Structure 1
Amino acid sequence: MALDRIILSTFRNHADTRLEDTRQLNLLIGENGAGKTNVLEAISLFAPGRGLRRAALADMAGETGDGGFAISAKLDTGGGTDPVSLGTGMQGQRPGRRIVQVNGAEASAVSLGEWLAISWLTPAMDRIFADSAGARRRYMDRLALALSPGHARHASRYENALRERNKLLSDLPEPEPAWLDSIETQMALAGAQLAQARARLVEALSAELGALPSGPFARPALTHLPGGALEEDAMRDRLHAGRRRDRAAGRTLEGPHRDELQVVMDAKNMPAAECSTGEQKAMLIAMTLAHADLAVRGRPGLLLLDEVAAHLDPLRRDALFERLRDNGSQVWLTGTERSPFQGISADAATWRISDGTAESHCSSN
């Protein structure tokens, strides 16, 4: 099960790029700024959300064309059935509105999660352990979304209700209790589903990580720290009881929007933020691989790895490639040169990316 016949039209620096005859392992080789990560970003848009850069749609459009862009691909689902046609993009006449099609019919972005489970690891994520709690919540939500497509709806509904409650509490001296009752009911329903999904994700990831050897990648220990109650009734009651306190603060002080992901290096019992950059990278790789193992069990999986091999020693690089072969996901890797990928070059489809173009190379080259 894999994506093939991927076409990027006026997407960033790719005017008309086609990637065909893909394999389980796929390499994008080229100089910095050539457009390798742009290809990964395009593929990441076959998942719900804003893609691996979290960019605005208008920023993705290339300089040519009408100000829009289009990305399409064929998903081979196996079993002798016809490939599924997936498409997404933006029309220049309607900036900011994302278009999604499945087999030529208009669909929602959330529905893409029913076809593919997509994960990624980029250099920008190296600071996740030292970043804000909000960044780690977004990280948890992205991983949870790859396992459960409905997670995006729960997160959106909770955030919308949270904004409404905060506005009532900050703008009105005495908000109508019935209004707050209704909003808090919505928050509790969506919030409980949101928080419980995060807790299940961390529990499943912890089980995967616990079954792995302690090396060659540093093994992290994960803990989900809830920002409030996990059960719907308890969450609604806590919101009701906290109205006076939250009105004084001008915002809601507890709930899933205060959740935290705690990561500790297991061997040293040291918080990840205090570990070396190499140890942090190793833990992040371990978490990414463990999540990919979980995601591929439900739907076709895609794993996008941007510049992941460049800073690994040969031992860890070989271990990474072995895990990627065994995982079952379709994998896309980028690099500035082919030498770090000698361990998989015979098995991989390879493209040379240059100034927004892609030239296919035989794997034996």
Structure 2
Amino acid sequence: MALDRITLSNLRNHAETRLQGTARFNLLVGENGAGKTNVLEAISLLAPGRGLRRAALPDIARAGGGGGFTVGASLTPGDGGEPVQLGTMVDPARPGRRRVRVNGAEASAVSLGEWLAIGWLTPAMDGIFMGPAGDRRRFVDRMALALDPLHARHASRYENVLRERNRLLGDEREPDPTWLDGIEAQMAKHGSALAQSRARLVGVLVETLASHPDEPFARPLLAILTESPFEEEALRVALRANRGRDRRAGRTLIGPHRDDLTVTMAGKDTPAASCSTGEQKAMLIAITLAHGELAARGRPGVMLLDEVAAHIDPVRREALFERLRETGAQVWMTGTELAPFAAIEAEAAVWRVSGGSLEKL
């Protein structure tokens, strides 16, 4: 199955854009600022979550476009069956609320994950090994979501009850223990599911990466760093026991919101944060490829690679294309010129992007 007949209306610098006749490889070529990444962002909004830029909904709408936007696509089966119509939109009258439709019927954003597994790699992610732990948690959660659509629900509900517990702990008055019991029970339920989903993801990534060679992409070793129990009852008990310390700190000091992803370069036993920029990039690509391979099992997979091919050497570029073929996912890539894509140009659908308009080549 593949995405086709993709439409963007009033999104970023795209007034009305339509892409039709897609292929396994899809290339968006144009100058910086032409609107290439905006197309990738639109496609990323056909998955649960906030898309590859994590932008606020009003910021996605085109300036002067009324405050709303729409994205639509057909998920076309390879057997010639009826396509599935996916869409998401923001009504100008309610710019902070996102709506989702599947085959014309209202649906939840989480339900999009039942149809598609979408992953991406962007230049903004290059510093993920050097940045705060929260960036790596979001990276893990986004990958987990592509494999388990329910992950988003647990993450959202955990964050909601975490905020409520922190609010109560920060209040000058002593919190009602019974109320805290209820909140902590919900935190334990969703936090345990969240932590176990992350652990499963990292486990299958480790297995997949172990089957890959160390070259031409540096092979990373992954692990979740946590100080919190995974099991629901153990987490509930730990939260209750930690109330005094958490109240003094004014925030919750244990739970999956404190976890981190540790990455080490195989063969060198060097933390990713201490590796060269080129090694970090290679490990990030290796993780993305392994995840794309996993995500394409069972559901249609889509990989969005923003300005990736131009920033790696020809040997790694050729290996990247070959590995992308093996994943079975539909691939979307951007670049300022066609030259880096010469090896796949004949099998790709290509669009020239300029000023928010597309021309198929």
| Fold-level similarity (TM above 0.5) | yes
Q: Secondary structure at the match of 1:218?
A: coil
Question: In 1, Cα distance between the equivalents of 2:64 and 2:324?
Answer: 37
State the TM-score, normalizing by the size of structure 2: 0.99
Partner deviation per Cα, 1:66-103 (whole Å, 9 max, x = no partner): 22111111001333321011111111111111011111
Partner residue, 1:162 = 162
Q: Return the TM-score normalized by structure 1.
A: 0.98
Aligned to 1:177: 177
Number of corresponding residues: 361
**Superimposed CA distance per residue, residues 188-241 of structure 1 (whole angstroms, 9 cap, x where no aligned partner):** 000000000011111110110011011000000001112411000100010111
What corresponds to 1:150 in structure 2?
150
Q: CA deviation at 1:63?
A: 2.3
Q: Conserved in 2, the CA contact under 8 Å of 1:227 and 1:257? A: no
**One-letter identity of the residue aligned with 1:289:** L
Alignment correspondent of 2:261: 261
Q: After TM superposition, list the pairs within 5 Å mapping 1:113-152 onto structure 2.
A: 113-152=113-152
Letter in 1 for 2:167: K
Q: Which amino acid aligns with 1:125?
A: M
* Counterpart position of 1:202: 202
- Match of 2:101, SS? strand
Per-residue Cα deviation, 1:306-334 (whole angstroms, up to 9, x for no partner)? 00011111110000000111211000000
1:172 offset after TM fit, Å? 4.1
Q: Percent identity?
A: 67
Query: Does residue 39 in structure 1 map to residue 39 in structure 2?
Result: yes
CA contact (8 A) 1:147 1:298 kept: no
Q: Secondary structure at the match of 1:74?
A: strand
Aligned mates of 1:285, 1:54 — CA distance in 2: 20
Structure 2 Cα separation of the partners of residues 257 and 336 of structure 1: 38
Q: Indicate the larger mover: 110-119 or 91-100.
A: 91-100
Q: 1:170 Cα deviation (Å)? A: 1.2
Structure-2 residue corresponding to 1:321:
321
Structure 2 residues not aligned, in runs of 5+: none
| 1:291-302 correspondence to structure 2 within 5 Å | 291-302=291-302
- The whole-number CA distance in structure 2 between the counterparts of 1:43 and 1:98 is 15
After TM superposition, list the pairs within 5 Å mapping 1:2-21 onto structure 2: 2-21=2-21
- 1:65 and 1:338 map into 2 onto residues whose CA distance is 31
Equivalent position SS for 1:127 = coil
| Separation (CA, whole Å) in 2 of partners of 1:89 and 1:142 | 21
Cα distance in 1 for residues equivalent to 2:82 and 2:224? 41
Q: Secondary structure at the match of 1:130?
A: coil
In 2: Cα distance, 1:42 partner to 1:243 partner: 43
Alignment check: 8 A CA contact 2:293 2:326 kept: no
Please give the secondary structure, in 1, of the residue aligned with 2:311.
coil
Alpha-carbon separation, structure 2, partners of 1:290 and 1:284: 10
RMSD of the TM alignment (CA)?
0.8
Amino acid paired to 2:275: C
Partner secondary structure for residue 347 of structure 2: coil
SS at match of 1:346: helix
Distance in 2 separating the partners of 1:181 and 1:67: 42
SS at match of 1:9: strand
Supply the distance in 1 between the matched residues of 2:57 and 2:245 (Cα, whole angstroms): 39
Q: What is the aligned partner in structure 2 of residue 27 from structure 1? A: 27
CA distance in 1, matches of 2:58, 2:173: 40
Judge conservation of contact 1:77–1:300 (CA < 8 Å) in 2. Answer: no
* Counterparts of 1:356 and 1:275, CA distance in 2: 38
Alignment-derived partner of residue 222 in structure 2: 222
- The amino acid that maps onto 2:359 is E
TM-superposed CA distance for 1:264, in Å, is 0.5
